[in-house]
Every structure is written in structure tokens, then in C-alpha cells.
Chains A and B, each alone.
Chain A
Amino acid sequence: MAALGQRRRNSADLECEIDMVPIMNMFLVLIPFLLASSTTLFLNGINTSVPVMAQTSTLQQPEKKSEVKITATVKLENNQFVLQASSDELSEEKLKGLDAVVKNTNGKHQYAQLATALHNIKSLYPKSDTLILMPDDAIIYDRIVKTMDVARAFNGQTLFPNVVVSGQVQ
């Protein structure tokens, strides 16, 4: 009995050591490879489109008055934003009331003011979802992207998710 107990104790005392060296070697090869191929820049995409000629369908149902949709047009000029609202279902007078001109202050573009004007339209006509951007020829791409950001959402609130970029018709 004593001999059996002795044998059990001896087998439990045996330390089992796993050879970690090959695993370490593999890690040392994998980590530099993955570090070299990892990206530090995170790329995203903004969906947009250019206007195309479309055939009108006579089968389209007329929209209800309660679902008035406003199409906002923002002209990007060198020293200001010009916001104009358009809709088939509202009078000229009502649409004029939604228009706004946001001038630069101290040479800086006032994106927050533009967002406030867009928010005003969105709160009155929540079904509105399309905005047409009309930049001047000299406007740089960076400013177009910043304006798109403001037009899509401001302070976490969705404004006009569909932004279409269009050249001005002279």
C-alpha cells in the first residue's frame, strides 16, 4: 500500500515542460510581417452621384401633402454658401423663406451656420433627403467634402443623406 502511494507521489512530482522555442520563433516571424502589412490609414467612402437624364414615368403616384420633400441646393462660392430650397408641392413664397446665404466670416467658411439652415429645412420637412451641391469651378475638393459632411449629418443628427454633386449650368 505504501509502495503504491510512493509511486503516485513520484509521478505527480514530474514537471512537464513544453518547448516554447519553436512557437516563439514562429511569432517572431509573423509579428514583423503583420506589422509591415498593417495599415495606419483608415479609408472610408462617401456615396455620391452625378445627375443623369432619366425617363419620366407616368405611373408614379402623386405624393401626399404630409410627405412634402424639399430638395436643397447649396451653391459653393468662394466667399459664401447659397442655400436654395425647391419643391413642386410648395409655393414660391414658402420656398423663399427657406433660402439662406451664409457668408464667410474673417475669411472662414461658416459650416455651422449652413448646418443650422439645413437643420431648419429638415425639421420642417422631415421627409427631405436630397441635397444638390453646386460648387464653383475654383472650389477645391477638400471644401466639397467638408460641405458634404455637414449636409449629411450635424451633431449626430441626419440631415440630407443623398448628396448629388452637380456643375453649375451657365
Chain B
Amino acid sequence: MALGNALSNRPKSEEPNINITSMMDMFTIILFFLLSSYGSSPVEFDLDKGMELPESSATFDYSNSVKLFLSNSSIKVEKELVGQLRDGQVLDLDMTKPKSSYLYIKLKAFHEKQIEDAKIEAEKDGKDAKDDFHVLFFCDRNLPYKTMNNIMKVAALAGYPNFQLAVLEKS
């Protein structure tokens, strides 16, 4: 009882007043920085585990197009697996009959769709249809030229003779 009285008689402590203005300032700066960097990289890439891109001094921005991923174990067009590699050799790709490969069929389908879309777009705008499509090529830095050359040849046959090689900015 005595304890209860003592507690009730104790002077009430004041509520602590924290100044959050400086924290708000800091948060505002961080928020604007993150928002600006979020807007400049809207595309997400799903790279294979262990795939390393080469570093380059190139400063050209990549443009979004059909993405071709060549790692040391697989070939993907966009997110779909179209082939496999073993010891740098592409399985199921006979370079004497490249048009029979699934990679060719897939790329050709993408190319035809892009042409169709460009025609519709051109009709809307009253301009000539665009036909200079390219492949955004992600290739593992340690792959030999022989492997990538075969893939590039198939892509060129499917209507993509122009490539944009995806590289990392030199740190």
C-alpha cells in the first residue's frame, strides 16, 4: 500500500521530445537518390549463377531488345532455355543445318513478331516500319570465340546480324 502511494505521489515525468527534423532531411535525400537510380534501370536481367560478364570502357546505354544469354552450360532466349552446352560445345546444334535448331526457330519467331509489331506501329504513326532489330547478347567472359561465333551465326541467319554485347561498366 505504501508503495502504491509512493508511486502515485511521484511527480509525472515529461514526455521526451525527439527532434526528428534532421532524420527527415536525411531520409528525404536518400529517398530522392534511390528514386532517381530506380528510374534509370527499369529492366531486370536473370543471369545464370556463375555467369560473369566482361568489363568494358564502353559507355553506350543498352537498348532493350531480344535478350540472348550464353553461359558455360546453357543458352537462353529471354527466359526460355533453348540449348545446352558441354565443354564449350553446343548440344543439338548442327552447324551444317543451323535452321533446324530450336535456337533458330525461337529467334526467328521473335524476329517475325518484332516485324509485325513494327508494321502496326508504323501504320499508326504514318512512318516507315523499323527493321534494324538487334539482339542484346549476354555472354560469359570465359567462353571461347568458337562457341559464341556459332550462336552469332544462327542469330544472324534468323534476322539479327546486329548485336549489342552486354558488358559491365569498368569500376
- The 0/1 profile, CB within 8 Å of B marked 1, for residues 16-40 of chain A is 0000100110011011001101110
A34, B35: Cβ atoms under 8 Å?
A: yes
B136, A45: Cβ atoms under 8 Å?
A: yes
A153 is an interface residue with CB less than 8 A from chain B: yes
In A133-170, the 8 Å CB interface with B consists of 135-142, 144-146, 148-149, 152-153, 165, 167
B56 is an interface residue with CB less than 8 A from chain A: yes
Tell me whether A44 and B34 are in contact in the complex, defined as CB-CB below 8 angstroms, given that A50-B161, A136-B145, A140-B143 are known contacts: no
CA–CA, A146 to B58, complex, Å? 10
Min CB gap A157→B, angstroms: 13
B168, A142: Cβ atoms under 8 Å?
A: no
B3 is an interface residue with CB less than 8 A from chain A: no
B63, A140: Cβ atoms under 8 Å?
A: no
CA–CA, A70 to B59, complex, Å? 25
Min CB gap B100→A, angstroms: 20
CA–CA, A71 to B133, complex, Å? 25
- Which bucket holds chain A's interface residue count? 35 or more
CA–CA, A24 to B23, complex, Å? 9
Kindly list chain B residues whose C-beta atoms are within 8 Å of the C-beta of A142: 54, 141-142
A59 is an interface residue with CB less than 8 A from chain B: no
B166 is an interface residue with CB less than 8 A from chain A: yes
Selected from B23, B35, B161, B165, the residue in CB contact (under 8 A) with A45 is B165
CA–CA, A141 to B63, complex, Å? 21
Nearest B residue to A166 via CB reads: B149
A79 is an interface residue with CB less than 8 A from chain B: no
A45, B166: Cβ atoms under 8 Å?
A: yes
Nearest A residue to B57 via CB reads: A149
- The 0/1 profile, CB within 8 Å of A marked 1, for residues 61-76 of chain B is 1110000000000000
Selected from A39, A46, A52, A141, the residue in CB contact (under 8 A) with B164 is A46
B56, A149: Cβ atoms under 8 Å?
A: yes
A140, B163: Cβ atoms under 8 Å?
A: no
CA–CA, A153 to B63, complex, Å? 21
Selected from A34, A43, A146, the residue in CB contact (under 8 A) with B166 is A43
Nearest A residue to B153 via CB reads: A50
In A103-134, the 8 Å CB interface with B consists of none
- With A138-B144, A141-B145, A149-B57 known, 14 other A-B pairs at CB within 8 A are A39-B37, A43-B41, A44-B58, A44-B62, A46-B165, A47-B134, A48-B162, A49-B161, A49-B162, A50-B153, A137-B144, A141-B148, A142-B54, A149-B58
10 pairs from A and B in contact (CB 8 Å cutoff): A23-B24, A24-B27, A41-B169, A44-B61, A46-B167, A47-B164, A137-B144, A139-B144, A140-B142, A142-B142
Name the 10 nearest CB pairs between A and B, nearest first: A45-B62, A34-B34, A137-B146, A45-B164, A142-B141, A42-B169, A135-B145, A145-B54, A27-B27, A46-B165
